[in-house]
Amino acid sequence: MKETKTRILTGTALLAAAIMFATVSTAEEQLSYTTLGQPESISAVLSKENNIVYLKQAIELLKSIDDIYVNIEKSLSDGKKLVVFVDPAHGKLENGAWEGEMTGRLSATGLPEEYYSIMLSRELFKTLSVNRFIEVRSTEDFMQVMKGRSNLYKNIPFVDTVRLAAEAGAFIIVSEHLNNISSIVKASGLMNIPGVHITTDRWGNRFLSYVKDIHRGFLTLYNKYDATDFSRRYALNLKEALVAQGMRANNWQMGAVPDDRFSYFVDFPISVIYESGFISNPDDEELLRDPEYQRRIVRGQYESLLETVREV
């Protein structure tokens, strides 16, 4: 009987100790993930979260955002830099082909989108690197491309871009893309010009078409779910800057387009995709070949970024 009582008491003591330890551990964990310093509205939401794992994730995300976006001026004066993460636009696939070739992202002259993305990204890297308060980051192979040391880089999913940008403490993700939408499919391939054309239907039958509508000009896709509003303001500032230079904004949302695909990546509220022209349009493609035109586009991207940072 004594032995049985001893076992029961021992078991009860162990259970009590386990409960006490768990209580202390949870209290310590919750203390280390405090919501102090957060706005009242955010603290109110977080206080309703009973799952410690989700609470940790939410507070870690908030802390990361605060570290990057709050008191930018003080961070810069303390020696920190604004990290701009450049997403590699498409790239080489496992089979060795450019994604632009495999997915129909071709110019009027048959060049893949990456051909122009590389040129614009190199100009962007050169422009950003002059500013001592800015650091440019990307994948290792695309960094070599932007520095002019290589012409090859691998395609990566955007989820990897977000992960790498988060690890780099990036302020913003940008990506140099070109548009290739075409109003028609010509018998000889994609084309984006007005006039009478021999076109094909989906079965390959040829017929004459009179095309009036064409796609031209730049546009910027910005994060529709950016609660800071920085992405939208940046896109609008960029549109204003490029139009002031005589460049043509595409008529889709007049050159600043909210994009909901960023909703999957709450880690990065500030993210934009530059679409600097329609390579499927011969006139746009000719402009994009001009190094001076490239410099003007990138200068607008750079100066509009600085302007938007100053605004906030």
Domain positions in the chain = 2-68, 71-311
Residue whose C-alpha is closest to residue 235's, from 268, 218, 257, 217: 257
- pLDDT interval class at 73 (50, 70, 90): confident
User: pTM value?
Assistant: 0.79
**Per-residue confidence band for 264, with pLDDT thresholds at 50, 70 and 90:** low
- What are the percentages of helix, strand and coil residues in the chain, rounded to 5? 50, 20, 30
- Per the DSSP assignment, residues forming a β-bridge with 274 are 176, 220
| Residues 6 or more apart in contact with residue 62 via CB below 8 angstroms | 38, 42
Going by C-beta distance under 8 Å and a sequence separation of 6 or more, which residues neighbour residue 268? 162, 165, 166, 170, 172, 173, 223, 262
26 pLDDT tier (thresholds 50, 70, 90): very low
State residue 49's pLDDT score.
86
pLDDT at 306 over 80: yes
Residue 256 tokens, joined:
């600043």
Q: State the average pLDDT over residues 160-164.
A: 93
Residue 211, strand partner residues: 195
pLDDT band at 11 (very low <50, low <70, confident <90, very high): very low
The correct CATH number of 71-311 out of 3.40.630.40, 3.30.360.10, 3.40.50.2300, 3.40.50.360 is 3.40.630.40
Task: Find residue 84's DSSP bridge partners.
Answer: 136, 172
Q: 7 or 77: whose pLDDT is higher?
A: 77
Give the rounded percent of residues in the chain with a pLDDT score beyond 90: 48
Per-residue pLDDT reduced to its tens digit, 179-203: 886 544 544 445 566 677 676 676 7
| pLDDT of 297 above 50 | yes
